[in-house]
Amino acid sequence: MNLNTSSLFKDIKAILSKWGFSTQGLFNNSKGEWYLFSQILLLLLHLIPPYPKIKHIAFSINTFCMIVGLAISILGLIIVIKAFIDLGENITPLPYPMNESSLIKNNSYQNVRHPVYKGLLFISLGICIFSLSLIHLSLLISLAYILKIKALKEEERLKIKFPEYKKYIKEVPAILEEIKYLDWRS
């Protein structure tokens, strides 16, 4: 192993450690590592071919679904990228805020508490519409379930770290205000 590879591994290890990853956490889910891995697995499963494959659908309907699905997925990707940029140094893939993080309530986080999750659900919905697939619909539902659990776990920690987060929860929708399951304001 050369010096550059060794340095790269040290940099990756430092980033993972900063985010809160630990060997122990991989085994006992202490910081929500399993939610992250479930989320990644569900997103990767979106790459599988659609099922059932609809063969006798009008070209215009198929084209319409493809365009709408693609547009929704692109919108989701834009939402995710903007939310990542707005988080800046506070970004972590785990539902556990970093020690040196600050609470972000502006830009993407002004109108929704979890815009990254919203964007991921839009991407999943777009793929579901694009492919007209029951498998992808089940992936969308599963992803919504995992992201809600992950968001609730994250919010537990954010309320402890930032007392003003309790007020923010009451004022700002969680993921999608229009769907009660994805907006659990109290």
CATH number of the structural domain spanning residue 95: 1.20.120.1630
Where does 53-165 show beta strands of DSSP type E? none
Confidence band of 151 (pLDDT split at 50, 70, 90): very high
pTM: 0.86
Which residue in the block uniquely carries the two structure tokens 């002004």?
110
**Beta carbons of 167 and 181 less than 8 angstroms apart:** no
The residue segments making up the domain with residue 87 are: 3-182
CA 135 to chain centre: 19
pLDDT of residue 91: 87
CA atoms within 13 A on the CB side of 112: 20
Q: Which comes out higher in pLDDT, residue 167 or 10?
A: 167
Tally of domains within the chain: 1
Identity of the highest mean pLDDT range in 89-103, 123-137, 172-186: 123-137
Tell me the percentage of the chain whose pLDDT exceeds 90.
63
Residue of 79, 150, 156, 78 whose CA lies nearest to 118: 79
3-state SS class at 95 = coil
Residue 43 has a CB neighbour count (10 Å cut-off) of 16
Beta-carbon-side half-sphere exposure of residue 51 (alpha carbons within 13 Å): 8
Q: Which residue has the higher pLDDT, 58 or 40?
A: 40
When the pLDDT of each residue in the chain is averaged and rounded to a whole number, the result is 89
Q: What is the mean pLDDT of residues 131-158?
A: 95
More confident residue, 14 or 41: 41
